[in-house]
Amino acid sequence: MVGMTGGDLNLLWARRLVAGLAEAGVERVVISPGSRSTPLALAAATHPRLGCSLIVDERSAAFFALGQARATGRPSVLVCTSGTAGAHYLPAVMEAAAANVPLIAITADRPPELHGRGALQTVEQARLFGPHLRAFFELGPPAGDERALRGVQATAALAVARSLDPQPGPVHLNAPFRPPLEPSTLVETAPAEPPPVFFPPRRAPSAAAVAALAAACRKSRRGVIVAGPAPLWAAGTLPLAVALSRRLGFPLLAEAASQMRFAGAAEVLGLFEMLAPPGGGADLCPDFVLQLGAYPTSTAWGRWLDGDGAAERWVVTPHGWADPADRAAGVVAGEEELVLAALFDALGRGEPAEPEWASRWARAEAVVREVVTEAEARDRVAGWLSEASTVRAALRAAPEGALLAVGNSLAIREVDLACPPEMARVGVLAQRGVSGIDGAVSAAAGAASVTARPVVAILGDLALLHDVGGLAACRHARGALVLVVLANRGGRVFELLPLGDGRLDEETVSSLFIADQGAEVAHLAAGFGVRHVRVTGASDVEAAVASACRDGGSWVVEAVISGPGVRERRAALREAVLARMTAGAA
């Protein structure tokens, strides 16, 4: 290889880099077109074991790759040209870092002699993603000696390893190339020896941590287990959580973004948003909380967890420090599955919680289920379609085994509020790291590109507009991709915040926060070749989602929301729950 120059050397170098990624387990590359990244794009596209997707918009490409990684648990690789292109990856890189999702970004670059001299499309790319990376590798310009080629291949394998361990997240490789960028031939060179195989360890808890947690559990007479947001690959934790719930007599409360809410376990309770005080009252106040994974989405539940006089709380998490209020008594680091197995063994056959404790919670959730179901029935009679009725209908229609991609802001909160565990059997994808509304369409499309399972996404109309370019990525879906859009004319989650309680005039709230854009969703979908259906009732939502899942392809189901506002609806639900709980306690 010594003596090889120009475009052929660039391609050889890129092929060694790509071979290292593939040998380390990478299966998918998302390419945004550009000139400086020509060697990388050619190397990825001609590798026999890599699947490549072309996404023109780098911001959409990054969320697309993030959606792939969320669905598979393996890093997808991003490839882009030099200059501002890589900067568009930043929002997805931030989400990957916060949510512990593996992701690898490769940015092509101009060679060192062009930096600092005013050359076009040349910027400092080494610190492009700031503190959000698990690792950064500056590859330097290609070199033709075997030691350098072996080194870049090993660096690729190391990048994959760092994206997975010790804490999954984003890794950045910067790859400068000198022209000519085009090779004289695409003939494959002789394969090199593969890099070392990396075997990431499992994170088991310490014996001291398990003993301390077991002692805290034994003291409790009214404990609860709360499952917060979790990745798709954490679904194996459910059987252990159920076994632990039975042994301790603790109710198992699973939020919508966990992998436990819609997994078919009869022991799981889900509709606990309305049971935080004042809805549930003192009869449901726990003296101990075992939090699994990330902090819960529910604001009301958060106030209950961390208010004055809150219960002792222990957190089990494989990574990070999931205690934003600094109220946890202990944080046990380790894979939830391993922690719960060790805790189950450590507890032995001790005395469970108060005999009526778990059944009290089950009866309370039954009250919420009745209230929410009756509210949906009233909407049907009145001819209204609420956000809650829409998400309930979408989940009823989702086939067993489908993936539910839940958008942030109001969408995730409505699913959490209104959809009981028995409503669906689905895996859940949710961007609860940084929890922004950006990239929702692209991420759903990315997930749909790596599975034949139907993907049903629920998002708001502003989230659709924020990622409207993601509609172009929907063509990569392998099976059905159904985008259920809550067309409620803007960011209605602001109605639930203090600024929506009347302290500001309606015009100010509407113009500065709710921000209805008046977009024609049908025209947007048509522009990208995505099929569209507009619905105004819950039964129509259910029929449209079911039909789209059967027929396959990409769809936008525009659910036109009508009737009272979300703040008024929620207040009515809380009043009804409180009244029935009070009557039941009398």
Domain with 509 in it: what CATH number? Answer: 3.40.50.970
Q: pLDDT-derived band of residue 279, with 50, 70 and 90 as boundaries?
A: low
Tell me the two tokens of residue 433: 């790291």
Contact of 376 with 247, CB cutoff 8 Å: no
Q: What is the dihedral angle through the alpha carbons of 132, 138, 142, 148, rounded to the nearest 10 degrees?
A: -110
Query: In the chain, what percentage of residues exceed pLDDT 90?
Result: 78
Query: In the chain, what percentage of residues exceed pLDDT 70?
Result: 97
Residue 280 C-alpha from the chain's centroid: 30
Range of the domain at 39: 6-176
Residues present in the chain in total: 586
Tell whether 93 and 40 lie within a shared domain.
Answer: yes
Which among 361, 394, 409 is the end of a domain? 361
Tell whether 349 and 274 lie within a shared domain.
Answer: yes
Q: pLDDT-derived band of residue 501, with 50, 70 and 90 as boundaries?
A: confident
**Residue 221 falls within a domain, yes or no?**
yes
Contact of 561 with 488, CB cutoff 8 Å: yes
Give exposure, 84-97, as e/b (b: 16+ Cβ within 10 Å): ebbebbbbbbbbbb
**Residue 181 falls within a domain, yes or no?**
no
Tell me the two tokens of residue 221: 């007479």
**Residue 227 falls within a domain, yes or no?**
yes
- Count of structural domains, the chain: 3
Tell me the two tokens of residue 467: 């990622």
Distance CA 288, CA 225 (A): 9
Tell whether 256 and 162 lie within a shared domain.
Answer: no
**Residue 392 falls within a domain, yes or no?**
yes
Q: Identify which has the larger pLDDT, 199 or 71.
A: 71
Average predicted confidence (pLDDT) for the chain:
93
Name the nearest CA neighbour of 289 among 307, 311, 272, 262.
Answer: 311
pLDDT for res 200: 86
Write out pLDDT tens, residues 287-296. 999 999 999 9
What does the pLDDT average to over 152-175?
A: 97
Contact of 274 with 305, CB cutoff 8 Å: no
The answer to whether residue 334 scores a pLDDT higher than 80 is: yes
What does the pLDDT average to over 315-325?
A: 92
Q: pLDDT-derived band of residue 120, with 50, 70 and 90 as boundaries?
A: confident
Tell whether 355 and 390 lie within a shared domain.
Answer: no
Name the nearest CA neighbour of 98 among 431, 416, 375.
Answer: 431
Tell whether 343 and 401 lie within a shared domain.
Answer: no
Contact of 163 with 102, CB cutoff 8 Å: yes
Write out pLDDT tens, residues 393-431. 999 999 999 999 999 999 999 999 999 999 999 999 999
Which among 126, 153, 176 is the end of a domain? 176
The answer to whether residue 553 scores a pLDDT higher than 90 is: yes
Which among 176, 192, 216 is the end of a domain? 176
**Residue 60 falls within a domain, yes or no?**
yes
The answer to whether residue 156 scores a pLDDT higher than 60 is: yes
**Residue 378 falls within a domain, yes or no?**
no
Tell whether 357 and 390 lie within a shared domain.
Answer: no
Tell whether 307 and 421 lie within a shared domain.
Answer: no
The answer to whether residue 180 scores a pLDDT higher than 90 is: yes
**Residue 63 falls within a domain, yes or no?**
yes
pLDDT for res 260: 96
What does the pLDDT average to over 455-459?
A: 98
What does the pLDDT average to over 488-517?
A: 85
Distance CA 61, CA 89 (A): 8
pLDDT for res 451: 97
pLDDT for res 585: 66
What does the pLDDT average to over 94-104?
A: 98
Dihedral sign of CA atoms 279, 284, 286, 291 in order? negative
What percent of the residues of the chain are helix, what percent strand, and what percent coil, each to the nearest 5? 45, 15, 40
Name the nearest CA neighbour of 255 among 225, 285, 286, 278.
Answer: 225
pLDDT for res 2: 55
Tell whether 127 and 28 lie within a shared domain.
Answer: yes
Write out pLDDT tens, residues 213-226. 999 999 999 999 99
What does the pLDDT average to over 339-362?
A: 89
Three-state secondary-structure class, residue 526: helix
Tell whether 392 and 536 lie within a shared domain.
Answer: yes
